[in-house]
Amino acid sequence: MTEHWKTLSASGEHRVVVTKSLPGQLWLEVLQDADCRVEVCHSRTVLTGKEIRDAIGDRCAGVIGQLTEPWDAELFSRLAEAGGKVYSNYAVGYDNVDVDAATRQGIAVGNTPGVLTETTAELAVALTFAAARRVVEADRFMRKEQYRGWLPDLFLGELLWNKTVGVIGTGRIGSAYARMMVEGHHMNLLYYDPSPNPSLEAAVREFDRYLRSGGEQGIFCRRVEALEELLREADVISLHPALNEQTRHLMGARELTMMKENAVLVNVSRGPVIDEAALVQHCATHPEFRVGLDVYEQEPDMASGLSELENVVLAPHIGSATRWTRQGMAVLAARNIVGVLLKYPAWDGDDMRPFLSPESPSAAPSLVNRRTLNWPVTGQ
């Protein structure tokens, strides 16, 4: 272990490795109360596979890792050899994790859903309007002291009120974003998802009735069968799919060309959903097209030319970056570790709030491979 590592509760029975320092204190207390020796890496660089293997060593009960780390068969084999029983991803997504490899080794895999939803959706909304209203361009203009007074055509952007928003992927975050745009800005909704979303559709119908009862213009919600329909009709498109082989480069040169000249494209899901080189080319040749990005195809690197584009707003993967959310993620990750080590059942519910207080259910909040491991479950 290097100078970047710090050991807490050195006499603890269960050795738990945490590959990045986590916010808050409750997550650490959860591990310490379960008699865990906690070894935390305070380096701000992404650990390599070798560094993680070295950290696991020959005795390790569990690991809390990061979405920036490729947890492959080799790492899970090393963890199993060290006596490991659980890996918890400090994220809701787990496309960086070979879950099948973990399952073959008998290792439970946890994630942290339920606390990122509104936070990440809010960031998508912020990027939407920052792009549509050219906020970052205007900010740079002001900081360079170029403002000489109000002008009728200075930084003209797009009005989104009563326009159409297209949402690709209506899981928790996509649905929350859709409702924020519909209910906050009276936008029509198109959504593209393998499965219908009855609760989202019902919420939009109810809001439509509310608007019409007050004499306002109504709105609609429609699930589209073909992605092309959404691309052609939507004024704003926000990406919220899981990353897999079907969604990798879901937005390429062909799809970008189908969108409106002045459309807004937002991505807070995973970078490889967009062909970033094609995006750079499209933005360079379509100056009225606007983009808001929080994730990148080769993160942390950006495609050549992306940072030079005035019509793109860039954020450094901060979708879940509020204190409440990041602390909540840490607590959920720790409770996944403890739940497995103490042989608790897995939680069979979507509401994670019971786990965020010092007194929580005796359960592992979220084990993504519980069924294949035949892990027992407990209800809400």
Active site residue 282: no
Catalytic residue among 15, 317, 326, 335: 317
CA 118 to chain centre: 11
Separation between Cα atoms, residue 202 and residue 172, nearest integer Å:
15
240 included as an active-site residue = no
Of 115, 38, 116, 112, nearest in space to 336 by CA: 112
- Which one from 51, 74, 118, 299 is the annotated catalytic residue? 299
Cα-based distances in Å from 350 to 172, 327, 328, 342, 365: 10, 18, 14, 22, 9
- Annotated active-site residue 270? The verdict is yes
Q: List, in order, residues 6 or more apart from 242 with CB less than 8 Å away.
A: 93, 95, 169, 171, 269, 270
Q: Which of 270, 282, 326, 335 is catalytic?
A: 270
State how far the Cα of 204 lies from the Cα of 200, in Å rounded to an integer.
Answer: 6
Residues with active-site annotation: 270, 299, 317
